[in-house]
Structure 1
């Protein structure tokens, strides 16, 4: 574990320096443990609780309708609010690079994406043998320049084409022909370009599909 201080509160009521140092202890929420309410002297299982929904998270990681219900369930303490989804990813930054060429904050955030290596995806990427094996690539438009001098829609497509390596960005300028031939789907990213027809397009990809092969960065 690193010494980075990104406190988390464990279900045992202890504040840990980060999710890693918490080990196998279930995390109730991110941040230092505070607002913990004890149930000392109020754990009567027969007590009548008001039917008011003011959720709290018990020390067993279960959400109760209110503090009274948590104490009635023989909990030692509780904190305000619902318990977090145990399957939710933490925000701890421990980057990994997916085979799709995308950097994910941690292994959990990568989901079902296969991991190429630990750490951020570098600007200059060497394709691994695994990345060059037949598989399906997304149509996400995140252009890279292959070692063969051809622009590919994304890192996955470049490696799949058999190139040894690639760099982020398009090769020596913008090639609409290559983009359209690869059937790349345009994103909704707003990075305007001014087309040779005097019209502003939301991004270079949109301009290409509109038949505009020459354009300049920025709005017209």
Structure 2
């Protein structure tokens, strides 16, 4: 367990993996475990500190710099999480996660612990609502899936009413998409199953669970 995890225990524990081993990002994950492994590997390749080029002449004295949007900025948070390319074009971003010169404005910021651990519960609920709204007529892109999982992991129990409503909306949307998948080998299936399982089992929304 590292220092960050001691400060912020995992709400949804995940086994540790060797993130240095080879993996092919073009091959869809076959199980929820492989999906989570993929998230860890991709997150480990992203720097935890993002340096912005700022003109000091344009800053006022005692002014703080915050790269994240304001709480009420729905469009800003969608771009922050998904990246402008995906948010504006609704098309997947490929092969840019391995680029050391990655532009996070274009491809989105990953849900690193250094980001989500500082979020209050109202912030978590707002961002989750923004992403569920965007998810309403889209597929479950990897960028979206990572953030949905991370936000679920940040929700505290017992559930507040607003959290209860949001996670049920999410599970229903995942079920709708899953029902339309024609190929049982579709890489999106494992991620959809994982989110449905978390809502139904971990958050005890048993009426949304799959029949055994």
**Same fold by TM-score, threshold 0.5 exceeded?**
no
TM (norm. structure 2) is 0.23
TM (norm. structure 1) is 0.23
Q: Per chain length, whose mean CA-contact separation is higher, i.e. which structure has more relative contact order (CA < 8 Å, sep 6+)? A: 2
Higher strand proportion: 1
